Structure 1
Amino acid sequence: MKYIRLLLAGLAAGLPAAGFAQSPNLAASTYIGVEFGTGKVSLNCPANTACSRVDSNLTVRAGHRFDPSWAFEVTYAHIDADWGFLGRNYSAEYTGFGVGAAYTLPLSTSVGAVLRFGGASNELKLQPAVGLSGNNPGTTSTRSVQPYAGLGLSWQFARHWSTSLNVDLTRAALRDSPTSPKQTVTVRTLGAGIAFNF
């Protein structure tokens, strides 16, 4: 009888917690999400004029919340930017791997504002246009470690699913040629995504 009473007491204590776990909440411990949107790389265009190349962006995030407000997060972001100028084709490819923290400010039981910050290993590949002589200058790839920051709005509409809008900013280094000095450009991603919360 003693063991039965202990078992019943344990079940009774666990029922409220189990009921709460079925409702949407911002404290789901582990999550992985994918986002699609636009990415902008602020490059120098031909004739050394400032411009921004905008194209599609893919971002993947995985994180673990160690309390309702703070999470450890890793990110992957990729942008492909292609454009033309007087019949010449150029391309820039950005890839970033980030490690950082995400802070969630609850706005309701299922909606939260998210602030992100951390460091990222960024690579920017530039393919200049083929010259008039037909010589291909080749692709220049430059890596750098840069800080990043982001802001998002998340809505957890079911126990395991959430959707979000996010904007992230970082920097990347770039060389016009293998021997030229590095220049720093701004990289921005803007996207909408969906995440699975374990």
Structure 2
Amino acid sequence: MLAAILPAAAMAQAPQANTAYLSAEIGNGKVGLRCPAVDYCSREARHWALRAGYRVDASWAVEVKGASIGTGFSGWPTTTEYTGVGLGAAYTLPLSPQVHTLLRFGGAFNRVEYQPDWNMFFDSEPDSVTTRSVKPYVGLGLSWQFARHWSTSLNADWTWADMRYVANGPKERVGVRTLGAGIAFHF
């Protein structure tokens, strides 16, 4: 198997201008909510992200990103769900012909839905609270192009979101971060 990968890696090349790519990522995400003292809640969960990009030259690309984090595990009565859609730029800094550092930045439309703790004995589930905001995001990645059309990457992204714990309550700024591994197809 290693003999099949090495020739493919040797054929891999630096990103080409005027090309598009699609990537999928899965990993760990964290919404920086404060858990009220009476609630049991989880701040971390699996996340997924999808990116579509267009490389305008060998260094710069324009990207659209969609991401989601759902912190509701069974057994945790308090849940928080984050979804975000972003538009930004990605800068590629080559470390070798196949390995690249990625720097990302842009703006994201973020949505956080908070479901407070509820009492299953009295079946009194309170209404969830949804807060929307537009915030900047930044990211850092390390990519390995192992074949002409394929690459894999490790990514870390950060953004902020507004969150309300009660309807019509004050907004609180929370940090959102994702760490993940992804695979991309380059057209």
- Deviation of the 1:83 alpha carbon: 5.3
1:88/1:130 contact within 8 Å kept: no
- The one-letter amino acid of 2:34's match is N
In 1, Cα distance between equivalents of 2:128 and 2:72 = 13
Match of 1:183 in 2: 172
Higher helix content, 1 or 2 = 1
In 1, Cα distance between equivalents of 2:125 and 2:42 = 23
Match of 1:124 in 2: 112
- The one-letter amino acid of 2:150's match is W
Q: Is residue 134 of structure 2 the alignment partner of residue 167 of structure 1?
A: no
Q: Which among 68, 72, 78 is matched to residue 82 of structure 1?
A: 72
In 2, Cα distance between equivalents of 1:162 and 1:114 = 13
- Deviation of the 1:82 alpha carbon: 2.0
Deviations along 1:11-65, one digit per CA (max 9) or x if unpaired, are xxxxxxxxxxx9322223210000010000111102289x971110001011011
2:87/2:108 contact within 8 Å kept: yes
Higher alpha-carbon deviation: 167-176 or 129-138? 129-138
1:40/1:52 contact within 8 Å kept: no
Q: What fraction of aligned residue pairs are identical, expressed as a percent?
A: 53
In 2, Cα distance between equivalents of 1:88 and 1:121 = 27
- The one-letter amino acid of 1:72's match is V
In 2, Cα distance between equivalents of 1:24 and 1:48 = 54
Q: Is residue 84 of structure 2 the alignment partner of residue 103 of structure 1?
A: no
Q: Is residue 113 of structure 2 the alignment partner of residue 113 of structure 1?
A: no
Which protein is bigger by CA-based radius of gyration?
A: 1
- Secondary structure at the aligned position of 2:125 is classed as coil
2:42/2:79 contact within 8 Å kept: no
- Structure-to-structure mapping, 1:44-59, within 5 angstroms: 44-47=34-37, 53-59=43-49
- Secondary structure at the aligned position of 1:82 is classed as coil
- Go from structure 1 to structure 2 and tell me whether the alpha carbon gap of 1:80 and 1:197 turns closer, same or farther (over 3 Å shift): same
- Deviation of the 1:88 alpha carbon: 6.2
Q: Is residue 35 of structure 2 the alignment partner of residue 35 of structure 1?
A: no
In 2, Cα distance between equivalents of 1:52 and 1:135 = 21
In 1, Cα distance between equivalents of 2:94 and 2:42 = 34
TM-score by length of 1: 0.82
Structure 2 spans left out of the alignment, 5+ residues = 1-9
Q: Is residue 138 of structure 2 the alignment partner of residue 138 of structure 1?
A: no
- Secondary structure at the aligned position of 2:37 is classed as helix
In 2, Cα distance between equivalents of 1:57 and 1:83 = 13
Provide the aligned C-alpha RMSD in A: 2.0
Higher strand content, 1 or 2 = 1
1:24/1:157 contact within 8 Å kept: yes
- The one-letter amino acid of 2:185's match is F
In 2, Cα distance between equivalents of 1:167 and 1:88 = 26
Structure 1 spans left out of the alignment, 5+ residues = 1-21
